[in-house]
Structure 1
Amino acid sequence: MKDLIITDLGTASLESYIETRRMLLKKADELTVRISELEPVRTLEMMNEILVLDKDRRLVVEMIASCSYVIEWLRTGRRPGNLRGIERRSGTQREVLMDPAMLPMIANPSMPRSPQEEEKGENRFRLEAALRGLTDRERSCYMLAHGESYSLSEIAALLNISKSSVGTYMVRAQRKVSDNVQGILILVG
């Protein structure tokens, strides 16, 4: 069993990560030098030793990459690789359009339902049945046009698609909704 060396790195701060990366870079250089000293391989034992050293060096290089990632995150205050943070995203990148009618209703089952609430539930059922066959894009276009009264150009800007695509989705959605409305059958009993 190998003896483990435990090193207290202190608190997780930018300075401690920079120091850790510096130590890891030294270790990677040492391993590279040791591998190059053994380079003209003459025996099987030497080859196995080089393979073990190379495996260790790859592990240290991965640790260096992880430290560099954390250092970049700590320096900039945002995830590395992001061109702009969430606070600088455009409205269409931040917002997720959602139909309020699709949100779950919070109802108290112990309270009796009024006739208006029952009618709302029936209308909601009819609406869900009518919109059932639409794709997500068709549903978004249809709900923005008919539910929110947006124009085709406004919908195109919101969804980052062309105005003609919005028109196509609207025609398809209207056809599907019309077919679904004619086919709705509500059973009472």
Structure 2
Amino acid sequence: MRILLLEYKNTLQDVKEEIVQIDKLIEPIAKKEAAKKMTPEDGGQLLELRRIKSALNSDKANLEYAINWMKTGRQPDSYNGIENRKAYEHKSFPPSFFNQIESPVSGSVDEPIKGEAVEYLLKDLTEKEKDVFILVSLGHSMREVAEMTRSKRETVRRLYILAESKVKKRSSLI
């Protein structure tokens, strides 16, 4: 593994040097472009050099990612050793679960408008915040919501407070 890591590091260094060389080639053409003295051949060359630089930057990012992965033994940007965080995230309740929700819009308003108002008010909330906010609004206790969402009660309380502040902020715009 050390040899592979060393080869990746050497390749990364080579790619960085190529990027510097491309920058040196781009610089005089870019000056011509700024001075509006660029010929069509220069334009084609500049376009090609920028395309090559973009590819090299992509290679550089991929190499850095792989090197980081080899050094740490885990996927970069994956916290606490969880390779697929999506597997552990709360799955939102199906829309049919919330058919009993009361609209915060009062008065004799058409049903489509009520739905749009509710959708507008809940627009900024994450899926979990929506679930917590709606369940608590329907009269469930924090403990019950925590059990339903498989979360801690303190997490539910925090999510509810955050969601409530977002909804209040959004409702002040109506």
> Shorter-chain-normalised TM-score: which range?
0.3 to 0.5
Query: TM-score when scaled to structure 1?
Result: 0.43
Rg larger in 1 or in 2? 1
Identify the structure with the greater helix proportion: 2
